[in-house]
Structures are given as structure tokens and as C-alpha cells.
């Protein structure tokens, strides 16, 4: 019987899942995910997790609970640093510990530490240790690791081509050809900035991206932007410590300066620690660029569908009216 490894479809799922899945399946290990977020997952998570934690963490608890009886191992790596510069939010660093000590009846948790500041091959060593858990040979693991890296590269290039992570994953899985339709009815482009596990989770973001698309707006997220360019857009004296926050904030700086988007929406979760700073800094920056409207949307476990729709419609109307006003002023 092959071992089954569970990967919760939350947090790092939207960034690293294709790579992890390739790695495990190349080693002949079955990968089980918890799938799309559901209401019951959220309820379970809210019940089990600490009340003061942020929604994504509560949701992660929910995903883990729905997965725990279906798998032999849970894969919750301790991802510390992957780019040699910035680390992840403290909640991510303590994630395996929170799950292990906050929940009961858990299968064994694979909490390999991934920190590439520790040396040239530290990431490979992490994967090697992971493969060793399932007593696979070194060559075997190396092949799987290289294939996983290649997969990560393919995923990244799809994202840079303008796809969102869930679409890119679907393409990689089914081998479909890229069917990127730029249906752009009113020619507006909005940037939705925020952490991948909020923006691309249909349930917790109340389908924000989908709603915007339905309104005929092209949506770009921070995964679609060239990483090198946005890293250079940073104007802070001291950069953000946290990878996702650093990305989101730099993306905002980049987009404000380039001026090619018609509006920027910052999606943030209630009680998110890093975002309290990111959001304020974005807001302060947005005052210097009055031509690009900026809105911040906070989500939590009680966010209603209608409320978000109303805010999006109002924002869209405001942007359109502003455009028309600008145009008529030009013609005069």
C-alpha cells in the first residue's frame, strides 16, 4: 500500500503545491488535498483555533481537520526563508507547532524546515530528509526533486503569463493548452493585492476576483508581476521582514509608479498582523498618486456576499465616472 500524504489546500498551497505534488508523486506517494474551502471547514477551524488568530490560520485548522482521518502523514513544512532575504510571518514559522499542540488525534506531521539561508544546498537537504522519511534512495529523491523544481518553474512562467494560481494549476494538471481569454469588455484593469491564500481562495474572499471578472474587469494579482522589477520598486528604508508582505507592498509601489492599472484593491484579513503595517503604508503611498483609486477590503469569517458586491460595484462606478470626467475634460 502506498503512503498517503495530506497537503491542506490553504496557505502555501497556492504557491508551492505543484512542486510538492510532483515531488511526492515521483516518489510513488499518493497526495491527498483537502480541496476547496467549505463552510463546514471554516466552522471547524473557528471552533478549534484560538479566537485571536487570523482567518487564514483558522481556515488552515479547518482544512487540517477535514484531512486528518484520510491520510497517513500530514505535510506541514516549516518554511522559514526561500529567497535568502525575507522570512515568513511568525504564524507560518510556528504552524507545525500550532497544529501539533493545538489539535488532538493528528497523524504524524512532516515538519521539515526549509531555510535556504543555511547554505547552497540547504533546500535540497530538506527535500532529501523528506524523501528519507519514506525510505527512498538518494538517486530516486534527486530525480523527484529536479522534476519538482522544473514543475515549479513551469508554474511560475504560467503565472507570469497572466494566469492566476488556480487556473495555472488546472492547466498543469490536465495538460490543457493555455486558453487565456482576455475578455476585456470595458477595458479596465484592476490589481488585487493580497496574500495568495486570501485572494485565490474562492470561499474566504467571497469570490472577489470572480466577481470583478464578471463585471468585465481584468484582474492582475501580485503573482503576475515580474519579481525582479517589483523588488526594485521598494522605497522603504528598511524592507518588510515577511515575504508575502514584502511582495504585496512592493507590488503596490510598482503599480502606483507605473500607473498602468485603473484601480488597486488591497484584500486583507481581519487581525492580520503584518497587514496592519502594509495597509497603512499602501494608504499613505496612495495619497501621492491621486490618479489611481485605492480601496482596502477586510475579510473575516462573517464576511457577506452582498456587502462585498456592493463595495466592488461602488468602486467600479467611481473609477468609471472618474475616467469619463477626465475624458470630457480633455475634450474641452
Partner 1 sequence: MPKVTFPRMGESYRTFKMLMNDLGNEVIVPPRPNKRTLDYGVRHSPEFACLPLKILMGTYIETCQMGAEIIVTSGGSGPCRAGLYGQLHKKILNGIGFPADIIVFEAPKSHPIDFLRKVNRLNTSRLSYRAIWECIKRGWEKLKCLDDAEKMTHRVRPRELEKGTTTKVYREVLEWIDRAYTINEIKEAGEAALRAIGNVPVDPRRKVLKVGMVGEIYVLLEPASNLEIEETLGNLGVEVHRSMFLTGWTEDNTVKETAELQSVKDAAMPYIPLCIGGHGQESVGHTVIYARDGYDGVIQLAPFTCIPEIVARTILNRISREHDIPVLTFFLDEQTGKAGMTTRLEAFVDLMRRKTGQPGNLGSIVG
Is there a contact between 38 and 203 (Cβ–Cβ < 8 Å)? Answer: yes
The backbone torsions φ and ψ at residue 22, rounded to the nearest 5 degrees and listed phi first, read -60, -45
User: Which residues sit opposite 297 in a β-bridge?
Assistant: 267
Query: Please, what is the minimum distance in Å from the beta carbon of residue 68 to partner 1?
Result: 17
* Interface with partner 1, residue 98, by CB under 8 A: yes
164 secondary structure, DSSP code: -
Give the closest residue to 33 by CA, choosing from 58, 62, 13. Answer: 13
Pair type for strands 188-193 and 109-110: unpaired
Query: Please, what is the minimum distance in Å from the beta carbon of residue 104 to partner 1?
Result: 9
* Interface with partner 1, residue 272, by CB under 8 A: yes
* Interface with partner 1, residue 184, by CB under 8 A: no
| Cα–Cα distance, 156 to 253 (Å, whole number) | 22
| Cα–Cα distance, 229 to 254 (Å, whole number) | 8
* Interface with partner 1, residue 271, by CB under 8 A: yes
Query: Please, what is the minimum distance in Å from the beta carbon of residue 94 to partner 1?
Result: 4
* Interface with partner 1, residue 88, by CB under 8 A: yes
52 vs 183 by CB, closer to partner 1: 52
| Cα–Cα distance, 169 to 155 (Å, whole number) | 7
47 vs 210 by CB, closer to partner 1: 47
| Cα–Cα distance, 309 to 303 (Å, whole number) | 11
* Interface with partner 1, residue 58, by CB under 8 A: no
How many residues form the binding site for partner 1 (CB under 8 A)? Answer: 38
| Cα–Cα distance, 186 to 167 (Å, whole number) | 22
Give the closest residue to 295 by CA, choosing from 328, 327, 317, 326. Answer: 317
* Interface with partner 1, residue 242, by CB under 8 A: yes
**Of positions 270, 313, 314, 326, contacts partner 1 by CB under 8 A:** 270
68 vs 211 by CB, closer to partner 1: 68
* Interface with partner 1, residue 279, by CB under 8 A: yes
Give the closest residue to 17 by CA, choosing from 167, 191, 151. Answer: 151
**Of positions 238, 291, 327, 329, contacts partner 1 by CB under 8 A:** 238
Per-residue string for binding with partner 1, 286-315, x by CB under 8 A?
-x----------------------------
Q: Which residues of the chain form contacts with partner 1 (CB under 8 A)?
A: 49-50, 52-53, 57, 78, 80, 87-91, 93-94, 97-98, 101-102, 113, 236-238, 240-242, 270-277, 279-281, 284, 287
Amino acid at each position: 500500500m502506498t503512503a498517503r500524504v495530506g497537503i491542506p489546500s490553504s496557505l502555501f498551497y497556492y504557491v508551492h503545491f505543484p512542486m510538492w505534488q510532483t515531488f511526492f508523486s515521483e516518489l510513488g506517494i499518493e497526495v491527498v488535498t483537502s480541496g476547496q474551502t467549505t463552510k463546514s471547514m471554516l466552522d471547524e477551524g473557528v471552533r478549534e483555533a484560538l479566537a485571536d488568530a487570523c482567518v487564514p490560520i483558522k481556515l488552515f485548522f479547518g482544512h487540517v481537520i477535514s484531512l486528518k482521518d484520510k491520510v497517513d502523514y500530514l505535510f506541514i513544512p516549516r518554511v522559514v526563508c526561500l529567497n535568502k532575504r525575507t522570512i515568513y510571518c511568525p504564524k507560518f514559522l510556528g504552524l507545525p507547532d500550532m497544529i501539533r499542540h493545538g489539535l488532538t488525534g493528528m497523524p504524524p506531521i512532516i515538519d521539515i524546515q526549509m531555510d535556504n539561508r543555511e547554505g547552497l544546498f540547504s533546500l535540497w537537504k530538506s527535500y532529501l530528509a523528506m524523501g528519507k522519511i519514506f525510505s527512498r534512495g538518494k538517486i530516486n529523491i534527486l530525480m523527484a526533486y529536479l522534476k519538482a523544481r522544473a514543475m515549479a518553474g513551469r508554474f511560475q512562467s504560467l503565472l507570469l503569463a497572466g494566469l492566476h494560481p488556480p487556473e495555472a494549476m488546472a492547466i498543469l494538471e490536465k495538460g490543457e493548452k493555455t486558453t487565456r481569454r482576455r475578455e476585456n469588455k470595458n477595458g479596465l484593469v484592476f490589481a488585487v493585492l493580497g496574500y495568495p491564500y486570501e485572494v485565490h481562495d474562492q470561499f474566504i474572499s467571497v469570490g472577489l476576483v470572480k466577481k470583478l471578472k464578471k463585471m468585465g474587469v481584468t484582474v492582475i494579482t501580485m503573482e503576475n508581476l515580474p519579481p525582479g522589477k517589483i523588488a526594485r520598486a521598494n522605497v522603504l528604508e528598511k524592507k518588510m521582514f515577511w515575504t508575502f508582505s514584502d511582495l504585496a507592498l512592493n507590488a503596490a509601489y510598482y503599480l502606483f509608479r507605473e500607473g498602468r492599472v485603473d484601480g488597486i484593491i488591497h484584500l486583507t484579513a481581519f487581525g492580520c498582523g503584518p497587514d496592519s503595517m502594509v495597509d497603512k503604508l499602501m494608504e499613505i503611498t496612495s495619497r501621492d498618486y491621486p490618479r489611481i483609486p485605492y480601496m482596502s477590503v477586510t475579510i473575516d469569517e462573517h464576511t457577506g456576499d452582498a456587502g462585498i458586491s456592493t463595495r466592488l460595484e461602488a468602486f467600479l462606478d467611481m473609477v468609471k465616472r472618474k475616467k469619463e470626467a477626465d475624458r470630457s475634460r480633455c475634450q474641452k
